[in-house]
Amino acid sequence: MGHGKLRKFAENLGFPCLLQPSAAEVLDKSAGTFAVRDHAVKGRWNDQMFSAARPIVLELGCGRGEYTIDLAQRNPSCNYLGVDIKGARLWKGAKYATEHALGNVAFLRTRIEMIEAFFAPGEISEIWLTFSDPQLHGENKRLTSPLFLERYRKFLRPGGIVHLKTDSRFLYEYSLAVVRENGLPLLAATPDLYGEVETVRRSALASVCGEDAVDALVSVQTYYERMFRDQGYRITYLAFQLDGDAPVRRPAAFDAEYWLSVEGPRHFVRQS
């Protein structure tokens, strides 16, 4: 491991806004892979990790935390929590939040597979999935699969919103198919956010997320968003609610082969 990463890991230990539980703290080994037990912070985020009690918005797979931080600065009436497994990426967001004394920002280093260990029912108001890995060949690893939606439902408040912003048409269409298969309330869906948002969809989106959030949707661009837009990919956006308690079903109507065939190659530029 390079010195840069080791230095970031060491600095991470000093950031009060960054929680880095060990897997052993939340894994229940007697009950199988990714079976979890409650972490001590569950139900206490507003008391322990933020400067005041406010609705909590999660970003899953936040990378360097640009989206979490930008949303938090635009909207001080909510608390924002970025989650990722990569400590060297989280370092950037945690350092910025610490240096700028952002009381409404926190970060959690964990695998999203264990996410339900950390939140009490209703503790989270919204979830953002920003440029998640589409996991083209592993449905159960996809962050909008029934397996993950069941996890989120355990802590998302009634009426809470899941937002997906992605360059992957495959992931967008798959997620839309899951929403339709399960009759989940669909709040917004566009396969071309930048093409539509300035025209007909802006008012529809604003009624879902508010004007500020629509501004953020088109003006906050993460590392991966910039990279994929530069390669000519359209950015898609989907927002839905996760109400109900029936088991979430896999989407029977999703044509995986077709959407796989139109998914173009990505060129990845390395980040830390």
Ligand X SMILES: C[S@@+](CC[C@H](N)C(=O)[O-])C[C@H]1O[C@@H](n2cnc3c(N)ncnc32)[C@H](O)[C@@H]1O
Catalytic residues: 133
237/124 Cα distance (integer angstroms): 20
| C-beta of residue 165 within 8 angstroms of C-beta of residue 129 | yes
Binding test (CB under 6 A) with ligand X, winner from 38, 43, 85, 208:
85
CA distances from 195 to 87, 102, 206, 236 (A): 35, 33, 16, 10
Binding test (CB under 6 A) with ligand X, winner from 50, 63, 105, 107:
63
Q: In the complex, what is the shortest distance from the CB of residue 131 to ligand X, in angstroms, rounded to a whole number?
A: 3
SS3 sequence, 111-123?
CHHHHHHCCCCCC
Closest CA to 57 of 48, 47, 44, 69: 69
In this complex, which beta carbon is closest to ligand X, that of residue 11 or of residue 113? 113
Binding test (CB under 6 A) with ligand X, winner from 26, 61, 81, 182:
61
Binding test (CB under 6 A) with ligand X, winner from 26, 49, 56, 62:
62
In this complex, which beta carbon is closest to ligand X, that of residue 54 or of residue 86? 86
- Site for ligand X (CB under 6 A): how many residues? 18
Binding mask 109-148 for ligand X (x = CB under 6 A): --xxx----------------xxxx---------------
58/53 Cα distance (integer angstroms): 15
In this complex, which beta carbon is closest to ligand X, that of residue 132 or of residue 236? 132
The footprint of ligand X on residues 13-52 (CB under 6 A) is: none
Sheet of 105-109: strand order equals 18-19, 105-109, 79-84, 56-60, 124-130, 156-166, 236-241, 186-190
Binding test (CB under 6 A) with ligand X, winner from 37, 74, 86, 266:
86
Q: At what angle do helices 211-219 and 66-74 cross, to 10 degrees?
A: 150
Q: In the complex, what is the shortest distance from the CB of residue 62 to ligand X, in angstroms, rounded to a whole number?
A: 5
Q: In the complex, what is the shortest distance from the CB of residue 107 to ligand X, in angstroms, rounded to a whole number?
A: 11
| C-beta of residue 19 within 8 angstroms of C-beta of residue 90 | no
Binding test (CB under 6 A) with ligand X, winner from 39, 89, 142, 163:
89
119 phi and psi angles, rounded to 5 deg: -135, 140
| Binding residues for ligand X (CB under 6 A) | 61-63, 84-86, 89, 111-113, 130-133, 222-225
